[in-house]
Amino acid sequence: MKRSSIKNYAKLIARMGASVQKGQHVVIAAQTEAHAFVTLLAEECYAAGAAKVTVEWENAQLLKLASRFEEVKELAFVSPWEEARLAERAQTPPVRIKIVSADPAGMQGADREKLTLAEMARSAIVKPYNDAMANRYQWCVAAVPSAGWAKRVFPHERAGAAVEKLWELILRVSRADGKDPLTDWMWHNRALREKCDALNALGLRSLEYRSANGTDLRVGLIEGAKFIAGRKKTVSGAPFNPNIPTEECFTTPKRGAAEGTVYAVKPLSYGGELIENFWLRFEGGKVCACGAEKNEALLRRIVSMDEGAAYLGECALVPYDSPVNRTGILFYNTLFDENACCHLALGRGYSNTVEGFERMKKEDFSAMGVNDSSVHVDFMIGAADLSVTGITAQGRRVPVFCNGAWSEELR
């Protein structure tokens, strides 16, 4: 892979994704395998005007070892200096960039029960600080291939060839392989915004999902919430693109307003493990039953992580013929697979989908029906034959998706 192409990708993340501005502090979280790219990314952040760039390294193998040998109280421990750092960042939030690259199955063999208990305990301390930062900072999640991840996607290739192939795919579906990725993304953001404008003009109050695989689900929408996509803004008006790539138009569903059953069409990579061929049944908006052919216990832990984890926090519309899906590749990575087709998310809802969110408080969002949770877990439901019907406040039924594609009314 040409260094110039990778450098352009780093520039895209810094300037379009995180939209780093002069004088801002930037925090990059990344796996240790991505150290070479992170150096390029830090350079691009400084070139964009960053006053300081801090890198926080992660390593799946070290976390796996910790899960095996440390007690839950040690895994869950939030040191005074960590909490002080959280408090400082809540007061003046830095720009956050997350680079994902870990092997999707890299945590197999870890003590998942310990990690889940530790995550729940840490959340009690960490979540209030994260809530205080909500909608106040720019952030971006992007990806860099590692040998483990690349071999998962291309198991019959040598490690070096697999990494090269995955780089090519990442740059292609991230719209980063052209001569001017920043301009390409400007037009892409505009196209997504126009699609959301068309959806919002319908005044939808619920969505019905149906597919031959057994999906039959109705989800209520929040009055005052809207579909958003691509470019976002903080409460102070700073623009950013939170995901590279992105193909979704999404909104926040109403807590307690989901009825029926939905089947996933792709594996879910969660915490370094894969959950495969799973389904969820909702009653009164809450998961009342679920099952999976592989890792069902982990799926059950997710929906019981806290009170809000069993409710929906996102409805996202993505055509089945998206650039990601057209590759014919399963990425085993939610950042990409969620942009292949329609998806839902368990857990925390997005408050910035609500009109006037800049002037609202946490209790206002709760009263409107925005779900709250320490988790937000996307899972893909967009089968090739998926139909999505919107129902307006007046009861009019509007085709939104037909056979996995936008309906005629929305093209």
pLDDT tens-digit series, residues 314-335: 999 999 999 999 999 999 999 9
> At the topology level of CATH, where does 3-173 sit?
Thermophilic metalloprotease-like (3.40.1830)
The continuous run of DSSP H or E covering 52 comes out as strand 52-58
Token code pair at residue 253: 């569903």
Peptide bond into 145 cis (omega under 30): no
C-beta atoms surrounding 346 within 10 Å: 26
Helix ranges (DSSP H) in 13-111: 35-47, 60-69, 72-76, 80-91
Using pLDDT thresholds of 50, 70 and 90, give the confidence band for residue 118: very high
Percent of the chain with pLDDT over 70: 100
Q: What is the mean pLDDT of residues 45-70?
A: 97
Q: Cα(411)–Cα(409) distance, rounded to whole angstroms?
A: 6
List Cβ neighbours of 260 (8 Å cut-off, separation of 6 or more). Answer: 209, 215, 216, 217, 218, 281, 282
Average pLDDT score over the chain: 95
Q: Compute the distance between CA of residue 92 and CA of residue 342 in angstroms, rounded to an integer.
A: 35
pLDDT band, residue 293 (cuts 50/70/90): very high
Distances (CA, A) of 234 to 93, 94, 300: 11, 12, 34
Half-sphere exposure in the Cβ direction for 72 (13 Å, CA): 12
The amino acid sitting at 200 is N
Predicted confidence band at 360 (pLDDT cuts at 50, 70, 90)?
Answer: confident
Provide the pLDDT confidence category of residue 409 given band limits of 50, 70 and 90: confident
Residues 6+ apart with CB under 8 A from 405: 319, 320, 321
pTM score, two decimals?
0.91
Q: How far is the C-alpha of 37 from the C-alpha of 137, rounded, in Å?
A: 23
Q: Which residue has the tokens 């057994």?
A: 214
CATH 3.40.1830.10 occupies which residues in the chain?
Answer: 3-173
Q: Is the pLDDT of residue 1 over 80?
A: no
Calpha distance 382→404 (Å, rounded): 7
Q: Tokens standing for 351?
A: 């408050």
For the cut 90, the answer to whether the pLDDT of residue 152 exceeds it is yes
Task: Kindly tell me if the per-residue pLDDT of 80 is higher than 80.
Answer: yes
The H-or-E segment that residue 60 falls in is helix 60-69
Mean pLDDT over 258-265 rounds to 98
Q: How many residues does the chain have?
A: 411
Q: 252 pLDDT exceeds 90?
A: yes
Reduced to 3 states, what is the DSSP secondary structure of residue 98?
strand
Q: Residue 105: pLDDT band by 50, 70, 90 thresholds?
A: confident
Q: β-strands 387-392, 204-210: how paired?
A: antiparallel
For residue 410, pLDDT beyond 90: no
| Residue predicted with more confidence, 359 or 259 | 259
